[in-house]
């Protein structure tokens, strides 16, 4: 009898495995939308996708990772919220909410738990936290994982997660520690741009950062006659696009709205933007992201110019240097070439590395020479080479 019971239990286990396998295979033959509809517990999500005209997008090739709130999750929202979102006049807001639940690519559970955050199709990033056997996406708990579909994967969550709808200026104002920055943005006529569509990345100095400037600096910059100077300084803190901290550190530099680059890196275990320390990172706003810094960073006064302008500068320097050299002023000729080379290196951002390297070598080699004649000719050869090569730019 016991043998028959064990045999029956074994067969039951086999049947259960076969049924589960068949179910998984069936799910994997459907796209994300059909899988969600077929599950029967995502009716509100399906209705919302229809109202937002996102059904075809989520039936596309993908792949996508969807953190899918159940019907019970939508019921947790304040009364009337779902009805409000489904109204035609709120379509953009609904799209923002739904795309905040979708991450590009297929991210299985084993990979999700390795992340601290993930950038969504909304543009903003969801925070991911793993504690024990619980995984949270923002504040929502993941209930079921790895529902594979033909164009991606679904992870079921128990709450609707909401992106911020506050822009950079509002976000900064509510933080309470960027009063000087906001006042400066208004004085420079940039507050409207920072409240616009974006996206923008702002390296935001705190009030304490502005207080570190020499006495009277802020008051002077806020004067109407210094509006352009103030605007240039503020634009030096803004990078186009939504650049999160890990991407910024990987890039090592970024071109600002002011035109010059900022350097981003880690020194002595501290993340920095130029010489300013990063105090907080990845603060999402509806139109960008904010990184908090402890100092105001100042753009260089060095003028930026094109390759054509650089060639003209070299041409005039060589002509003047040749006259000095032929008159016996070899030292003055070398100094002129050296000065021109430094200006060109600082002034041209998109210079080919081969030209930049050759000029740097010439400067380094000439600094070790004691003969002005040798210095002048070493620098002159590098300038001639740069002039010729820049004609192709």
Series of mean pLDDT values for 10-residue runs along the chain (393 residues): 40 38 57 93 95 95 95 96 96 96 96 93 95 92 95 97 96 97 97 94 98 94 94 96 94 93 92 95 96 94 75 93 94 94 81 88 93 95 91 72
Q: Residue written as tokens 């035609």?
A: 88
Task: Determine what percent of the chain falls in helix, strand and coil, rounding each to the nearest 5.
Answer: 50, 20, 30
Task: Starting at the earlier edge strand, list the strands of the sheet with 200-205.
Answer: 238-240, 200-205, 288-293, 276-285, 270-273, 261-267, 253-255
Contacts of 309 (CB under 8 A, 6+ apart): 347
The span from the CA of 324 to the CA of 303, in Å, is 26
Residue 58 near residue 49 (C-beta atoms within 8 A): yes
pLDDT at 343: 86
Which residue bears the tokens 């010059």?
260
pLDDT of residue 262: 95
Please, are residues 137 and 157 in contact by the beta-carbon 8 Å criterion? yes
Sign of CA dihedral 12, 13, 18, 24: positive
pLDDT at 348: 78
pTM of the model: 0.69
Which residues face 292 on adjacent strands? 204, 280
In terms of Cα–Cα distance, which of 227, 138, 151 is closest to 189?
A: 227
């Amino acid at each position: 009898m016991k043998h028959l019971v064990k045999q029956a239990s074994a067969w039951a286990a086999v049947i259960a495995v076969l049924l589960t396998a068949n179910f998984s295979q069936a799910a994997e033959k459907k796209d994300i939308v059909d899988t969600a509809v077929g599950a029967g517990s995502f009716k509100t999500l399906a209705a919302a996708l229809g109202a937002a005209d996102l059904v075809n997008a989520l039936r596309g090739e993908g792949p996508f990772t969807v953190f899918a709130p159940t019907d019970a999750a939508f019921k947790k929202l304040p009364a009337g919220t779902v009805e409000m979102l489904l109204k035609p006049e709120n379509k953009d807001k609904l799209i923002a909410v739904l795309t905040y639940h979708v991450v590009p690519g297929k991210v299985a559970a084993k990979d999700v738990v390795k992340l601290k955050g993930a950038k969504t199709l909304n543009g903003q990033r969801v925070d991911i936290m793993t504690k024990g056997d619980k995984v949270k996406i923002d504040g929502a708990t993941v209930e079921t994982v790895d529902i594979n579909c033909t164009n991606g994967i679904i992870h079921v969550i128990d709450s609707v997660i909401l992106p911020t709808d506050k822009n950079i200026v509002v976000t900064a104002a509510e933080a309470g520690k960027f009063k000087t920055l906001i006042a400066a943005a208004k004085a420079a006529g940039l507050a409207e741009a920072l409240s616009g569509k974006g996206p923008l990345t702002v390296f935001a100095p705190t009030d304490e950062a502005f207080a570190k400037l020499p006495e009277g600096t802020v008051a002077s910059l806020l004067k109407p006659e210094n509006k352009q100077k103030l605007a240039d300084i503020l634009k030096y803190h803004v990078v186009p696009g939504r650049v999160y901290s890990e991407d910024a550190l990987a890039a090592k530099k970024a071109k600002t709205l002011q035109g010059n680059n900022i350097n981003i890196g880690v020194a002595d275990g501290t993340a920095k933007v130029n010489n300013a320390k990063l105090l907080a990172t990845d603060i999402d706003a509806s139109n960008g992201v904010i990184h908090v810094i402890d100092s105001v960073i100042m753009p260089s006064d060095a003028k930026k110019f094109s390759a054509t302008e650089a060639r003209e500068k070299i041409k005039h320097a060589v002509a003047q240097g040749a006259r000095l050299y032929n008159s016996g002023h070899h030292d003055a000729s070398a100094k002129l070439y050296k000065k021109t080379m430094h200006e060109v290196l600082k002034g041209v951002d998109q210079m080919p590395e081969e030209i930049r390297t050759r000029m740097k070598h010439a400067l380094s080699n000439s600094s070790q020479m004691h003969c002005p004649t040798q210095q002048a000719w070493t620098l002159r050869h590098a300038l001639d080479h740069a002039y010729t090569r820049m004609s192709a730019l």
